[in-house]
Amino acid sequence: MFTHKIKYLYFALGVLAIGCQQQKTPIKTAEKSITIAIDDRVELLRVAYFLALEDSIDVDLKPCYTDFYQRNFEPYKKYKNHPLVQKIRTGDEWNADLPTIALCLDKYLQPKDSLPQKELIQQFGWYGAHLDSLSKLLIDFKKTIKFSNSYNVNFKPFLDAITASQIPEKLHQFFRTDKKTNLHILFDPLNRITNKAITFTNNPKNERLFLITYLCDQPNDTVKPLHLRWNEDYRRIVIHENTHMYTNEFFSKYYDNTFDSIVHQEKFKDTYHDIDEIMVRGITAKILALNYGKSVGDEEIKHQPKLSKMVYDDLERYTTNNQMPFEKIYKVIIDDLRTHFLTADNE
């Protein structure tokens, strides 16, 4: 009965702009530029989230039935009537990425200072507006369920695989730059609904933080060990997120208020018009095509918004001219998109 409320995206990453500082978590490092960790604040709220919703959502959206689930979720099932769980169950303002709001609380689960309330309310509704209440509920929830955060997940094979995939090198080659980027991955083992980029306004310029799901690649009916394995989906996510870091400054430079008001006209309300995402998804598909074969890129672009195909095709002018700086093609494509919206009636 709640299924229709869940706004979820499989591997389609949105941008969550919240300005809380990233708390220090025990991050394991394979190489300086990519780290991965589980954040126990996010997991704590994730437990409450699924205690509230697991029984009422589609089987495809339920957490993967793993040894992690058995140890870190099942023991808490008797707390389904906790006020925080009830609040989530009866609320009308929530998304599958709700648990990420816990990143706005410090290690004692108190709201951090200088939070951009407007954005938080936009993203999280009631929870964004009432962080103090959420904090109190979460503190009580943690105490009541005797929350344990001894996760013991082995990230090494995943990090080794990322390193071996040489994605940073491939991106440098594509963008024709030696710009250094840092990726911080938050692994969210109970979540198989949404991958989400989290852009903290006070993150250093070339850093990007994002949440990844754990996906069940076999029927989700018996307990299986949790093994985070590098695969083509995670590969796409890492390329996509990195691409944001390489294109953010161009997006800010070329996407102005006029363009923003054009795409926000009533007649485009049913047209996908997040220009940043349209660009990044087209570019991601192109990077996939160049590195893993045209058929991989073509297949990827089929699953993306229609206008990303325009980006994908336009990039041909860049990839066949090795003298062209990336910014030049970015501007050309964004101008094409503007023209498209100026001349289109609707989709």
* 50/254 with CB nearer Zn ion: 254
* 77/205 with CB nearer Zn ion: 205
Least gap, CB of 237 to Zn ion (angstroms) = 9
Residue 13 makes contact with Zn ion by CB under 5 A: yes
Residue 162 makes contact with Zn ion by CB under 5 A: no
* 280/301 with CB nearer Zn ion: 280
Q: Exposed, middle or buried by CB within 10 Å (0-12, 13-18, 19+), for 339?
A: exposed
* 145/285 with CB nearer Zn ion: 285
The closest alpha carbon to 291, from 167, 181, 192, belongs to 167
SS (H, E, C) the chain: CCHHHCCCCCCCCEEEECCCCCCCCCCEEEECCEEEECCHHHHHHHHHHHHHHHHHCCHHHCCCCEHHHHHHCHHHHHHCCCHHHHHHHHCCCCCCCHHHHHHHECCCCCECCCCCHHHHHHHHCHHHHCHHHHHHHHHHHHHHHCCCCCCCCCCHHHHHHHHHHCHHHHHHHHHCCCCCCEEEEEEECCCCCCCEEEECCCCCCCEEEEEEECCCCCCCCCCECCCCCCCHHHHHHHHHHHHHHHHHHHHHHHCCHHHHHHHCCHHHCCCCCCHHHHHHHHHHHHHHHHHHCHHHHHHHHHCCCHHHHHHHHHCHHHHCCCCCCHHHHHHHHHHHHHHHHHHCCCC
* 40/277 with CB nearer Zn ion: 277
Least gap, CB of 153 to Zn ion (angstroms) = 25
Q: Mask: binding to Zn ion, 222-261, rule CB under 5 A, as x and -?
A: ----------------------------------------
- Closest residue to bound Zn ion by CB: 13
Amino acid at 276: D
Least gap, CB of 208 to Zn ion (angstroms) = 10
Residue 183 makes contact with Zn ion by CB under 5 A: no
Residue 228: what are its φ and ψ, rounded to 5°? -85, 110
* 280/334 with CB nearer Zn ion: 280
Least gap, CB of 247 to Zn ion (angstroms) = 10
Question: Judged by CB under 5 A, how many residues of this single chain contact Zn ion?
Answer: 2
What gap in Å lies between CA 147 and CA 40, rounded to an integer? 9
Least gap, CB of 12 to Zn ion (angstroms) = 8
Q: Mask: binding to Zn ion, 260-289, rule CB under 5 A, as x and -?
A: --------------------x---------
Least gap, CB of 276 to Zn ion (angstroms) = 7
Which region, judged by CB under 5 A, interacts with Zn ion, from 13-21, 37-45, 107-115, 329-337?
13-21
Least gap, CB of 177 to Zn ion (angstroms) = 19
* 44/237 with CB nearer Zn ion: 237
* 191/220 with CB nearer Zn ion: 191
Least gap, CB of 197 to Zn ion (angstroms) = 5
Least gap, CB of 110 to Zn ion (angstroms) = 30
Quote the tokens at residue 165.
């995939």
* 23/248 with CB nearer Zn ion: 248
Interface residue list for Zn ion (CB under 5 A): 13, 280
